[in-house]
Structure 1
Amino acid sequence: MISIVYLPIFFALATGWLYLLTLFAPSIATGPSITTLKFPGSYEELQGLADLLGTYNSNHALYVLVLFSSAYLYKQTFAIPGSVFLNVLSGALFGVWRGFFLTCTLSALGASLCYTLSKLCGRHHVECYFPDRMQLLQQKVQKNKHHLLYWLLFLRLFPMTPNWFLNIASPILDVPLHLFFISVFIGLMPYNFICVQAGSILSEVKSINDILSWHTMGKLIVAASVALLPSLLIKKKTTDD
C-alpha cells in the first residue's frame, strides 16, 4: 500500500489531462470555444453542453468520445458527485444504445479505478473514518460469501449503501475485482438506461410541451419497465438464497 499523499498527485495528473484535452481542442467554424467547458450542474448547463459537444461531434466524433470518456472516468475515479448529468449527456450525444453501452462500460471502469486507488492508498483512512459501516459490510460479505456476486448486484440495484462508499470499501473487504467490475457493469444498467433514455429525449426537446407529450412520456414508461425487470429477478434470487 502506498501513502495517501500520492492521491493529490494522481488527482492533479488527471485534472491536467482534462485541461490539455480542452486546451488542444480542434477548431470549429461557429459556436463558443470548448475551452470554456465545465461539468454541468443544472438542466440549463446540461442543454448548453449538449449543444456545444453536439456541434463538435459532427466533425470530431473521436475527440468528443475521448473527452467524454476522460471526464466520466475522472468523476468516477475520484468519487465526484454529478455523474447523472454525464449519463444524460451520453444519451444526447451518442443515442440510446451506444450511450447505454458506453455509460455501463465507463461506470464499471471508473468504479474499478476508484477501487484500485482505495486499495493502494486508502485502507487505513476508510477503516478509521467509517468503522461502523465497515464492520456491518464485513459481516454481510461473510454471510453472503457463497453467492457474493448476487449480493453485490442487489446492493447496486437497491442501493442501501452509497455507490461511492461501496467503491472505496470493496477492496478493503477483499471483494475480488472481477466480481466488483461485473456487479457495477450489470447492477447499474437500469439506472444508466433511464438516464441515457432521458438524454436521447433531451436532444429532441424544444419546449415544455415536448417534455409533456404522450410520445415522450411513453418512451420514459418503456424505459422504466425495462429497467425494473432485472431488479426484480435479482431480488427474487437473493430472497430465495
Structure 2
Amino acid sequence: MTENQTSGPLRHLPILIILVVAAVGAFTLRDYLSFDALRDNREELIAFRDSHFVLTMAAFVAAYVVIVAFSLPGALVATLTGGFLFGTVAGSFLSVIGATIGATVIFLAARSGLGAYFSARMDSSKGAVRTIRQGIDENQWSMLFFIRLVPVVPFFLANLIPAFLSVPLHRFVISTFLGIIPGSLVYSSVGAGLGEVFARGEAPDLGVIFEPHILLPLLGLCALSLMPVIVKSVTGRTGL
C-alpha cells in the first residue's frame, strides 16, 4: 500500500473519533455535565478553587476544551460554572479560551478530512453552489463573525462550516475568539449570580440571551458584521 493510499483513510480518522466520542458522550455524560451536577457539587468546587486557584483555572480550561472539541453536552453549564467560580469577566475569559481551542481542534480535524472533500466538490461545482461559495469567499470575515454572533447557529456547525469552505486558520481563530465573547459574558454573568439562585432553590434563566435588552444588542452586532456585505452588494448593483 502506498503512502497516498494510507493517508486517505487516516485523514478522516480525527473527525471520525470526534463524532464517535460525541455520540457516546451524548448518552453517557448528560447527567454529569448538567446544572443539577453543578448545584449538587458546588461546595466541593468552591473548596477546591479556594485551595488550588491556579490549578482550578487550568482544569476548567482543559475541561472546556475537551467538551467543545468532542462536542460533548454541557458547554453552556461549563460557561455557567466559569462565572460561578471565577466571576463574570474572568469566567468569561477562561470560557472563551477553552471554547476557542476546542473549536480549533474540530476545525482542523474536519478540514483535514471531510473539509478537503467538500471544498473540492464546491470548487468544481457550477451554478448556484459556485455562486454561494464565491460570495462567502469574498466576505469571509463578515460571515464568520455573523455565524458566531447569531444565537441560533449551533456551535458545532459554526465550527464545521468554515472547515468545509477552506477558511484560513487565523481567520477562524480570531473570529471565534472575538465572536463568542458577547454570549460568553451573558452566561458567565448568569453563572456569577448562581449563589443566590441556589439559595432560593431555583434554576437559572437560561433564556436570558433572548431578552430584548440582550438580544437586540447582539442582533445589532450581527447587522454590523454584515454591513460590508450589504455595502458591497448595494454599490455593486448601483455601479458606485
Length-normalised TM-score, structure 1: 0.69
> For 1:97, which of 89, 113, 118 is the aligned residue?
89
Unaligned runs of 5+ residues in structure 2 are 1-6, 21-28, 232-240
Matched, 1:235 2:223: yes
Hey, what does 1:180 align to over in structure 2? 172
> For 1:148, which of 140, 154, 167 is the aligned residue?
140
How far has the Cα of 1:80 moved from its partner? Answer: 1.9
Amino acid at match of 1:208: R
Hey, what does 2:12 align to over in structure 1? 4
How far has the Cα of 1:152 moved from its partner? Answer: 1.1
> For 2:43, which of 29, 51, 71 is the aligned residue?
51
8 A contact 1:91–1:199 mirrored in 2? yes
Alignment of 1:66-81 (within 5 A): 66-81=58-73
Alignment of 1:159-198 (within 5 A): 159=151, 161-198=153-190
Unaligned runs of 5+ residues in structure 1 are 13-36
8 A contact 1:190–1:228 mirrored in 2? no
How far has the Cα of 1:72 moved from its partner? Answer: 0.5
8 A contact 1:154–1:238 mirrored in 2? yes
Higher helix share: 2
8 A contact 2:115–2:165 mirrored in 1? no
Hey, what does 2:53 align to over in structure 1? 61
RMSD: 3.7
Q: Is the alpha carbon distance of 1:79 and 1:140 closer, same or farther for their aligned partners in structure 2, counting shifts above 3 Å?
A: farther
Q: Is the alpha carbon distance of 1:49 and 1:231 closer, same or farther for their aligned partners in structure 2, counting shifts above 3 Å?
A: farther
Query: Take 2:115 and 2:148, find their aligned partners in 1: how far apart are those partners?
Result: 22
Worse-superposed segment, 193-202 or 157-166: 157-166
8 A contact 2:143–2:225 mirrored in 1? no
What SS does the aligned partner of 1:171 have?
helix
- Give the length in aligned residue pairs: 204
Query: Take 1:43 and 1:209, find their aligned partners in 2: how far apart are those partners?
Result: 12
Hey, what does 1:86 align to over in structure 2? 78
How far has the Cα of 1:143 moved from its partner? Answer: 0.7
How far has the Cα of 1:7 moved from its partner? Answer: 5.7
8 A contact 1:138–1:173 mirrored in 2? no
Amino acid at match of 2:11: S
Query: Take 2:150 and 2:52, find their aligned partners in 1: how far apart are those partners?
Result: 38
8 A contact 1:118–1:169 mirrored in 2? no
Q: Percent identity?
A: 23
Amino acid at match of 1:106: G
Query: Take 1:54 and 1:137, find their aligned partners in 2: how far apart are those partners?
Result: 52
Amino acid at match of 2:221: L
Worse-superposed segment, 230-239 or 95-104: 230-239
What SS does the aligned partner of 1:204 have?
helix
Hey, what does 2:3 align to over in structure 1? none
Q: Is the alpha carbon distance of 1:104 and 1:238 closer, same or farther for their aligned partners in structure 2, counting shifts above 3 Å?
A: same
